[in-house]
Amino acid sequence: MSRRYVVSAVEDLPPGERRIVPAGGRGGIGVFNVGGRYYALRNRCPHKGGPLCRGRLRPHVTADEVYSVEQHEKQVLKCAWHQWEFDLATGRALYDPALRVKTFRVEIEEGNVILYLDGPESPAREEGDIP
C-alpha cells in the first residue's frame, strides 16, 4: 500500500502553479499543474543537489535543421543553480537520458491533489501519455 500525501485542494493548485511539499526526504517533492495535468518529482537536482523544483518551466523545443524548430507538448524543468534541464513527465535529463530525477504518481481524489510516495511512478495524472 502506498503512502499518500494531500498536497492541496484542486482549486488551490491552478494551472501554471506548483507546490513544494515537505515529503519524500530532504528537499521535498515538487508538484506541478501544467494545463490540468499533474506531475511530481523530487526537489533535488542530481548534479549538485540544488532545489530543482524552484527552477523555470518551459516547453521542450528541438531544432533538427537550420531554421527548423519544433515545439513539443512536453515541459522541461530547468534547475535554477546550473541550468540542467529535465523532462517534467519522465524526470530524464535532456542531454543524457540515463540521468534522471525520481518522479511520483499524482491523483485527484475527492477534490484534492494526492501525492503517492511509494509504489509505481506515474508521470502525469491525466489519462493518456505525453508524447
pLDDT, tens only, 85-102 = 999 999 999 888 888 899
Cell triple for 73: 507538448
Residues in the chain: 131
Please report where in the chains the cell 498536497 appears, as a residue. Answer: 7
- CATH label of the domain that carries residue 100: 2.102.10.10
Mean pLDDT of the chain: 81
Q: Is the pTM of this model over 0.85?
A: no
For the chain, the domain total comes to 1
Residue 105: domain span:
4-62+70-116
Cell triple for 3: 503512502
Assess if residue 128 is contained within a domain.
no
DSSP state of 103: B
Q: Cα-flanking dihedrals φ and ψ of residue 68, to 5°? A: -110, 95
Cell triple for 54: 524552484
Whole-number Å distance between alpha carbons of 102 and 123: 10
